[in-house]
Amino acid sequence: MEYKEYENQMKFTQRHNEVEHAKSVLEKHGYYVHSIYNVDDVTRMYDCTDSQAMEVLELAIDNDGTANQIYENMRYFAEDMGLKEKP
């Protein structure tokens, strides 16, 4: 393995470990962390900068339609599990 490849692999591993640690801290505090998006998800599909990709993610995720769909799904699955809604 060339030094540059080794260096890139080490950076990737370090970044991955940092992300996994951050996810474990959030999960410990009750956050759902199994579906996290990254600018790479957009830049793999579109020719854009990381800044543009982040804007796409923000627009796609932080909108009323997405939030409403998530809450409707939570309600559906909670009721399907027999959970009772609080007054």
For the chain, the maximum distance between any two Cα atoms, rounded to a whole number of angstroms, is: 63
pLDDT digits (tens, 9 = 90+) for 14-47: 999 999 999 999 999 999 999 999 999 999 999 9
The structure's pTM equals 0.72
Using the predicted structure, report yes or no on whether residue 72 has a pLDDT greater than 80. Answer: yes
* 61: CB partners within 8 A, 6+ apart: 37
Distances (CA, A) of 25 to 11, 20, 52, 60, 86: 21, 9, 28, 25, 28
Q: What pLDDT sits at residue 1?
A: 63
Question: Binning pLDDT at 50, 70 and 90, where does residue 6 land?
Answer: confident
